[in-house]
Amino acid sequence: MDNSIRVKFDKIDRKILEILQANAKITNAQLSKDIGLSPAPTLERVKKLEQSGIIKSYHAKLDPEKIGLGVSTFVLVSLIGHNKGNIDAFMKEINQIEEVIECHHITGTGDFILKIIAKDITAYQKLMLEKVSEIKEVDSMQSMVILSTFKDSKVLPIPA
């Protein structure tokens, strides 16, 4: 809960962050060459970025198709009530469903947008009917099936 703490970092740190976002498996030696520093201070900077929470974690990115996940969707969800109790209850239920890989509270028409991933349309339908729709706080839902993904960058643009 230590939100919006703006930790400071310089041009070199920014470069490190760009590189590690694109490729977390780079060796420290190579990273140090790319940023023009020797290995020791390079590693020290990376550690500081980790400790300060700027770097939160490291993840392997898989190919959904190759592990048998053929259907991805975004779902706009409206709740029946917009009070904190309902929202908390909804969140709690959503957290239990592993196929829901993202859940954002948004402005606009709906209240939430979910990203869901499933094996196929049949599995998706079953998931929606038996799990998501069953959450009693849910009023309406609107699904958008992803036909194809043109861009899925893991590199955030770091402001100057």
Partner DNA sequence: ATTTTGCGCCACATAATATTTTGAAATTTC
Partner DNA sequence: GAAATTTCAAAATATTATGTGGCGCAAAAT
Footprint of DNA (CB under 7 A)? 12, 27-29, 36-41, 43-45, 47
Residue holding tokens 């809960």? 1
Residue holding tokens 């590199």? 155
Nearer to DNA, 43 or 141 (CB): 43
In the bound complex, what is the minimum distance in angstroms from residue 101's beta carbon to a copy of itself? Answer: 5
The number of angstroms, rounded, from the C-alpha of 15 to the middle of its chain's C-alpha atoms is 22
Q: Is 55 in the site for a copy of itself (CB under 8 A)?
A: yes
Q: Give me the helix-helix angle, 39-51 and 11-22, nearest 10°.
A: 80
In the bound complex, what is the minimum distance in angstroms from residue 41's beta carbon to DNA? Answer: 4
Q: Is 152 in the site for a copy of itself (CB under 8 A)?
A: yes
Q: How many CA atoms lie within 13 A of 152 on its CB side?
A: 8
Query: Encoding tokens for residue 120?
Result: 């196929």
In the bound complex, what is the minimum distance in angstroms from residue 20's beta carbon to DNA? Answer: 11
Interacting span for a copy of itself (CB under 8 A) from 37-45, 68-76, 78-86, 131-139:
68-76
Nearer to DNA, 49 or 76 (CB): 49
Cβ contact 142:82 at 8 Å: no
